[in-house]
Amino acid sequence: MPYKRGHRGRRIRRRLRPGPYLASGRRQGWLEGWRLGACRRIAEATPPPSVRRRPWRVMYVPQGFDAIDQGVVAALGETTHLIVSPQAEMLTYAENYRPDAVLVMNGLHTFPANQREQIEGIRRLGIKTAIWFVDDPYVSEDSAAIAPSYDYVFTHERSCVPQYEELGCEKAYHLPLAAHQELFRPMAVEEAYRTDICFIGVAFWNRVELFDSIVDYLKDKKVLIAGSHWDRMRHYDRLSKFVRSGWIEVPETVKYYNGAKIVINMHRTTEPLSDNKNTHRWEGHSVNPRTFEIASCGTLQLTDLRPELPEYYRLGEEMASFSNPRELTEIVDYYLRNEEERLKVAARGYRRTRAEHTFVGRVTRLLDTIGLADPEKPPAGGGKHDWLRSSECAEKKRPRCR
């Protein structure tokens, strides 16, 4: 304890009475210690799923979405003998390595114009082909054009399964995304990453409208709004101090998630506006990858409500949701005041993600569906989350979200 010497050399101790800033710092330190300790205990109690490598050779073609591609590569590397191919050389790699199956991630944006010709060539070699769409329904104009070229079509958007079936894709399935938990994980971060409210993503118009509508509420909060095109906001001059423009690399995104008290997640609109190519007007019912990624960091997530969300998380217990700007601000206020409850909700969401929303689990189901099951394991019956069904089977056997 600090001290000074008196006139007789005696040690005179100063009693430190914590002022408001010191007390606040101690409180925040205690809360962060509780969060990290709780997440560590949860991680120890829910180790990664134990899997056996199957004898199959799978060639994977990445889209270039780092968080998703890394998760799928890691999962396929654990469960199969993996080959990773550049987009432009799919057919050449398939001819040279002769895999049992080719899995293409998304197949859009940066893929070559001759993608369909390459896939047809791979099918002529007798190799199974599958694509996993993760941009549905926002680019239906493009995904509808390439889907019929594949033997198997997987989509993270359940409402698109019947649309693909109408296009002639007889083997179309719903397969949600997950979190790459080696990447998205709880961690201690520097003060520079700490905020009350964080949002990271592209400024699609519905997101712009949301933040424009709560500009007065945000003015006295510690806020981060990061991503491209946020200068679209009408009140950009008032919010610019909170904005970090441009692309945020995944490792830094993870730090911002960990440093935030509340991370907002808002799905983009499905309307065929300037930001979308949803010319077929397919609906959006399923959750985006951020839903799993934010939860995997052990941080409270406040998300807009998609119909499928309650199938993955218990709202109010593992995650919070809002339906309009006023409700968002009320919920933010509540959880900023009730800090321990906020941490407990976030910890429960982290536990659910650790246990149920892994890429190993998703990839295992995909492999089983395309006929690359573990030959030493008997076929499993439907589990708690039996997503991999055609739309007809899903209508008969799954309750609808209300």
Q: Which residues pair with 398 in a beta bridge?
A: none
State which CATH number among 3.40.190.10, 3.40.190.80, 3.40.50.2000, 3.20.20.70 fits the domain covering 57-179+358-397.
3.40.50.2000
Which of 242, 271, 274, 266 has the alpha carbon at shortest distance from 256?
Answer: 242
Examine the pLDDT at 137 and tell me if it is beyond 80. yes
pLDDT value of residue 378: 67
pTM of the entire predicted model: 0.87
Find the mean pLDDT for residues 79-87: 98
Same fold, 57-179+358-397 and 191-356: yes
Examine the pLDDT at 381 and tell me if it is beyond 90. no
- What is the architecture, at CATH level 2, of domain 191-356? 3-Layer(aba) Sandwich (3.40)
| SS3 (DSSP) at 17 | coil
Which of 218, 216, 239, 219 has the alpha carbon at shortest distance from 227?
Answer: 239
Average pLDDT, the chain: 88
Do the bridges between strand 11-13 and strand 3-5 make them parallel or antiparallel, or are there none, so unpaired?
antiparallel
Find the mean pLDDT for residues 209-226: 97
Find the mean pLDDT for residues 237-242: 97
Give domain limits for the chain: 57-179+358-397, 191-356
Cα→Cα distances 306→159, 191, 286, 309, Å? 12, 33, 6, 5
Find the mean pLDDT for residues 294-314: 97
Three-class HEC string of 98-131: CCCEEEEECCCCCCCCCHHHHHHHHHHCCCEEEE
**Number of Cβ within a 10 Å radius of residue 392:** 11
